[in-house]
Chain A
Amino acid sequence: MDGAERKKDHGELKKMSAENTKENNIALEVTGISKAFGSTVVLKNVDFSLKKGEAISIIGSSGSGKTTLLRCLNFLETPDTGIIKVNGKVLLDASEMKSLSDEEIRKRRLHFGMVFQQFNLFPQYTALENVMLAPVLVDKKNKHDARSRAVELLSVMGLSDKTDRYPHELSGGQQQRVAIARALAMDPDILCFDEPTSALDPELTGEVLSVIRDLSSRHTTMIIVTHEMSFARDVSHQVLFMDSGIILERGTPDEVFGNPKEERTKAFLGSIDS
């Protein structure tokens, strides 16, 4: 089917789910997340929410807590306070984290996918094996199904001819696209990107941004930490500007980029543009 048809399909789908229940539409609700490392407070009472099928961009200067926020969502860090709800259900309540078993944590973190700045592909596995590994080990899928899904995902990433390559045989941009396929293979509700193009040569960022753009047009629910402002502007439905651990400003891309209210936001956007 062509693009227009797909859009229409999704439009109808969306209408249907909207008619079902209103709150059913919220994919993620983060309330009161705080996190300190020793005496350094990195996140202060962070709140935001994300609708299904939407993309949110998080921007902000170095050290403002963007990575830490994503790591809290993925259970790589434990927030000191706060609640994370996914699809209306409490996924993480900082006050009862201690009582969660390892197995429970593994199950819950699968609601999120994570794409790292440094790709972190497994070097001893081919692109295909990287994508298949977790579905086979964790979801106990049979190899045949896992393989055909991986082939499909890699082809969506434009890597059909690279399935049998090892990571060191791929360019950074290709490695990052494998990493995206690997995350998608676990069918996360929400896909997180931590500066997915920051480790890439400038000429390779385009190919990665374009697959993310593609995911966005297929209504993948995403959180994207990025320094690519024009990309953030046209791919996301919502933009959060973080500054020393708080969300200082938020809104639609046009609001935040076109008409920033806070001085710090203006200064930050000014420094990036130049």
Chain B
Amino acid sequence: MFQTVTISLLQGFGETLKLFLLTLVFALPLGLFISFGSMSRFRPLKLLVRFIVWVVRGTPLMLQLIIIYYGPGIFLGRNLWGSNDEGRFLAALAAFSVNYACYFSEIYRGGIQSIPLGQYEAGYVLGMTKGQIFREIVLLQVIKRIVPPMSNEIITLVKDTSLARVIAVYEIIWNGQSFIKSAGIIWPLFYTGVFYLAFSGLLSVLFTGIEKKLSYFRC
């Protein structure tokens, strides 16, 4: 039995990982664009972007999943995502990417805005371009500052992927829970915790490593 459960949970965790990694692939760069939008000097754009970020951060991710998956069917009369497994996964990926991009954008914005103006001015008076200043001076300082909050957020994402089961994405908790019905046992559900713990432990080690790597300077 243990072996059957482990294999099933590993399958579910594969799905969890897929959602986690693909969310990062989309949300990390999307968040950067959103943060630029939220700092735009063009006021209407800035206000629009900040409004969207406020809505996304101010409502539960679970609700966003449901709206993104069922919304098109209800409002457009047509299920955009298709009703197969793949469609549900795509809907979940879209919801997670947008949600996390908004959280990341706030972290990026905080990081970028915390760099003292003097760093930019020192670059300007040495004749550097805006791009050179961003790449060669500001970027690494921003990264150093955002690693701790980003690592928190990313570890939260690992656990948040379990929300995808509200639209029946077969991630690890879904699989664990299914043993209650099929075999009358609950321990597989508890067992899923081990997978989360192991993975978030691994991520913690990774992020601590990055922080150490960047500890050679202070800013």
Residues of A bordering B, CB below 8 Å: 74-76, 102, 106-107, 109-110, 112-114, 116, 118, 120-125, 133-134, 137-138, 166-168, 182-183, 186
The 6 closest A-B pairs by CB, nearest first: A134-B126, A120-B122, A120-B118, A168-B218, A114-B125, A123-B219
User: Given A123-B141, A168-B217, does the pair A106, B127 have CB atoms closer than 8 Å?
Assistant: yes
| Majority DSSP secondary structure for residues of B touching A | helix
Chain B contacts of A186 at CB under 8 A?
126-127
Which of B50-58, B128-136, B194-202 lies at the interface? Answer: B128-136
Chain A contacts of B217 at CB under 8 A?
123-125, 166-168
User: Given A123-B218, A168-B218, does the pair A76, B127 have CB atoms closer than 8 Å?
Assistant: no
For the complex, what is the distance from the CA of A125 to the CA of B140, rounded to whole Å?
Answer: 11
For the complex, what is the distance from the CA of A216 to the CA of B218, rounded to whole Å?
Answer: 33
The reply to whether A118 and B127 contact each other, CB–CB distance below 8 Å, is: no
8 Å CB contact of B121 from A76, A102, A110, A134: A76
For the complex, what is the distance from the CA of A167 to the CA of B118, rounded to whole Å?
Answer: 15
B: interface residue count bin: 20 to 34
Chain B contacts of A75 at CB under 8 A?
124
The reply to whether A116 and B121 contact each other, CB–CB distance below 8 Å, is: yes
Chain A contacts of B116 at CB under 8 A?
118, 120
The reply to whether B125 and A122 contact each other, CB–CB distance below 8 Å, is: no
Query: Which A residue's beta carbon lies closest to that of B118?
Result: A120
Q: List 20 A-B residue pairs with CB atoms under 8 Å apart, sorted by A's residue number.
A: A76-B121, A102-B129, A106-B127, A106-B129, A109-B127, A110-B127, A112-B125, A114-B122, A114-B125, A116-B122, A120-B118, A120-B121, A123-B218, A124-B140, A124-B144, A125-B217, A137-B128, A137-B136, A168-B218, A183-B126
User: Given A124-B141, A124-B219, does the pair A138, B128 have CB atoms closer than 8 Å?
Assistant: yes
Listed residue (B118, B127, B141, B218) with the most chain A CB atoms within 10 angstroms of its CB: B127
